[in-house]
Amino acid sequence: MEGVIIATLMAMMAGVTIAIVRQRNLFAVVILSGIYSFLMATVLVALDAVDVAMTEAAVGAGISMVLFLSALYLSKGEEEKPQHTPLLPLAAALVTGGALVYGTLDLPAFSDPGAPIHQHVAPRYIQDGPRETGVPNIVTAVLASYRGYDTLGETTVVFTAGVGVIALLRRLRRPVSR
């Protein structure tokens, strides 16, 4: 049953992607990308990754759409017709996609308990995590405690990105001396 739901959602996502590519009205593209994010979030809920689903819904469908819309306000609402034929980009996308699909052939099967990633430190987190940290949500325990350094790094990345955007977009109010 779960497989059917995920396959349906994935098919809908593919449909939305094709609609995004074919659509020239940028407002419609922004709304469609929001729909794509919500579908992705639903897939992640079906995969029991609720934390990631929440992030996808809030960032992908919420904040990104608002930012896209405010960027759209500054530009024209229609996409220009491309000047070159799309054959070269299509070929590049096909080759890259083919390489990625070829790469996944070597991965362990989905939710295979014998996969290396489930054999390394994951059993210890699952067995000792609630006892050592007293936090029932293992995701939070791993994120904030066991992998605290990584989360500090991620927060610093968010900080750096924010500072970068400020440096690029901020307009200094210099007194006009003319």
Q: Under the rule (CB under 8 A), what is the footprint of other proteins?
A: 50-51, 53-55, 58-59, 62-63, 66-67, 70-71, 73-74, 132-137, 139-141, 143-145, 148-149, 151-152, 155-156, 158-159, 161-163, 165-166, 169-170
Tell me the three-class secondary structure of 34-71, residue by residue: HHHHHHHHHHHHHCCCHHHHHHHHHHHHHHHHHHHHHH
Q: What is the CA radius of gyration of the chain?
A: 22
Q: How far apart are CA 130 and CA 125, in angstroms?
A: 8
Smallest gap from Cβ 152 to other proteins, in A, equals 5
Smallest gap from Cβ 55 to other proteins, in A, equals 5
Q: Which is nearer to other proteins, 84 or 171 (CB)?
A: 171
Q: Which is nearer to other proteins, 50 or 92 (CB)?
A: 50
Q: How far apart are CA 114 and CA 81, in angstroms?
A: 50
